Amino acid sequence: MLETLRNAWKIKELRKKILYTIFMLLVYRLLCFVPTPGVDIASVQQAMQGIGLLNFINSMTGSNLSEFTIMAMGITPYINASIIMQLLTVAIPKLEAMQKEGEEGRKKIAQITRYVTVGLGFLQAVALARGLGASTSATFGSYLLIGLCLAAGTALAMWIGERITKEGIGNGISLLIMAGIIANIARFVVNMVRNLFNTQAIAAGAVNPWLYIPIILISLVLIVAVVFVNRGERRVPVQYAKRVVGRKMFGGQSSYIPMRVDSSGVLPLIFASSIMQFPSTILSFFPNSGLATWWNAHVNVYSFGYQLIFALMIVGFTYFYTSITFNPADIAKDIQENGGSIPGIRQGKPTVDYLSRISTRITLFDGIYLAVLASLPTLLAGLAGLSLPFAASSLLIAVSVATETARQLESELMMRHYKGFLR
């Protein structure tokens, strides 16, 4: 592996991309320490206690929300805006037609997404600042200033992510999310090392070093499972018939349609997490009500009922996301127009049914895999009395982004006749 890294470093173009990506990530992390003016940090951290949705966002932003820096919203508004635009593209014919225009249409949709991101970031920032009592003066001007600062931070994070995607290695937006998650994990590792060398705390029973062993084992098992499934794909063979165009003969070759096992990624898990944490977020503003007491006692995150509903929602959202991103009819039409066919399957509706059947089976496995990945570690941690330093969705995002970036770097090396990056 060190040899392949040296080979990558010898390529001038690839070296520039790696250095550019590292530099932009460092700039992003430095901006995460710039405070927002007029914010009472102590009030924010106290108000966030027990609000699951905000703690989930905080883990995605590298604790920027609890510190309420200018990057407190991170890239979350961009993700929400992208999801909204994807759903609207299916629902609004004009946006659907714009998407089918090719590169120009996608550029228009991307520009609209940027505007929606800034507007959504401003509204979310003002709402969070008011709900958490973040402003020191609680005036209209102070909330406006906080909203503008956080919206500017979101716009800057979006710009950094897009520049990394264009000039660097990997998907910039995903790398920014991974940077925040890694920052949280690194903070946990530092605290763990400090506790292991704190002999007084160990002697007093305040720190139990043996509890770190199952946390490390669970983390390793999750990482192996995520890497194994993330790189898996079902290859559907396609045979193209020979055809003569002018004096040249085309076709007559075999290919395949790569259908990724984890095609939906982490989005179903994020959707389900947000919805499941929404009731507790609302009830946290009424802590003395009977409904809030019942919910915290019977539907807490470590209860079996909560995790069962959570798992079913993940499976449902996996099917929903696959249905709007994978269209067997369009794929069957493209195969037929290019003179291809799946061996043993007739063209037309039989091909559509065959691809739909494969997609349904893969989606079922993907949904169960995501549900187990999200629910099982939490249940085990609750039974053992452990406190995991990350959510399953955070680990899934970090490992998925890392493997995807490694795959892209590997393809860059393969183009230059070097051995694979992971060999």
> Which residue reads 């973040």 in tokens?
134
Q: Do 192 and 327 have their domain in common?
A: no
d(C-alpha 160, C-alpha 51), whole Å: 29
**Tokens standing for residue 68:** 């309420």
Number of domains in the chain: 2
Inside any domain, residue 227: yes
Q: Do 346 and 371 have their domain in common?
A: yes
* Among 50-54, 338-342, 369-373, 403-407, the least confident range: 50-54
Average pLDDT in the 125-149 region?
83
Contact 268, 314 (CB under 8 A): yes
Region of 37 (left: φ > 0; alpha: ψ -120 to 50; beta: rest) is beta
Q: Do 326 and 201 have their domain in common?
A: no
Domain that residue 371 falls in: 208-389
List, for residues 72-102, the tens digit of each pLDDT value: 888 878 877 887 887 788 778 888 788 777 7
346-371: string of b/e by CB count within 10 Å (b at 16+)?
A: eeeeebbebbeeebeebbebbbebbb
d(C-alpha 48, C-alpha 65), whole Å: 9
Confidence of residue 164 (pLDDT cuts 50, 70, 90): very high
Contact 59, 398 (CB under 8 A): no
Q: Do 65 and 151 have their domain in common?
A: yes
Q: Do 297 and 162 have their domain in common?
A: no
Cα torsion 231, 232, 233, 235 to 10°: value is 110
Residue at which a domain ends, from 171, 205, 239: 205
Average pLDDT in the 381-404 region?
69
Of the two residues 101 and 57, the one the predictor is more confident about is: 101
Question: Between the ranges 54-68, 174-188, 367-381, 403-417, where is the mean pLDDT highest?
Answer: 174-188
Q: Do 245 and 275 have their domain in common?
A: yes
Inside any domain, residue 309: yes
Residue at which a domain ends, from 205, 222, 253: 205
Q: Do 177 and 265 have their domain in common?
A: no
Burial of residue 73 (number of CB atoms within 10 Å: 0-12, 13-18, 19+) = buried
Q: Do 162 and 41 have their domain in common?
A: yes
Inside any domain, residue 212: yes
Q: Do 231 and 378 have their domain in common?
A: yes
Q: Do 252 and 116 have their domain in common?
A: no
Question: How many other CB atoms are there within 10 angstroms of residue 416's CB atom?
Answer: 12
**Residue 54 is part of a domain; what is its CATH number?**
1.10.3370.10
List, for residues 212-266, the tens digit of each pLDDT value: 777 778 778 878 888 888 778 888 888 877 665 666 665 567 778 888 888 777 7
Inside any domain, residue 416: no
**Tokens standing for residue 188:** 């946990």
Q: Do 198 and 265 have their domain in common?
A: no
Percent of the chain with pLDDT over 70: 81
Confidence of residue 152 (pLDDT cuts 50, 70, 90): very high
Contact 21, 169 (CB under 8 A): yes
Inside any domain, residue 120: yes
Q: How many residues does the chain have?
A: 423
pLDDT at residue 422, rounded to an integer: 47
Confidence of residue 108 (pLDDT cuts 50, 70, 90): confident
User: pTM score, two decimals?
Assistant: 0.74
Q: Do 9 and 153 have their domain in common?
A: yes
Inside any domain, residue 418: no
Residue at which a domain ends, from 176, 205, 234: 205
Confidence of residue 420 (pLDDT cuts 50, 70, 90): very low
Average pLDDT in the 389-407 region?
73
Round the average pLDDT of the chain to a whole number and report it: 79
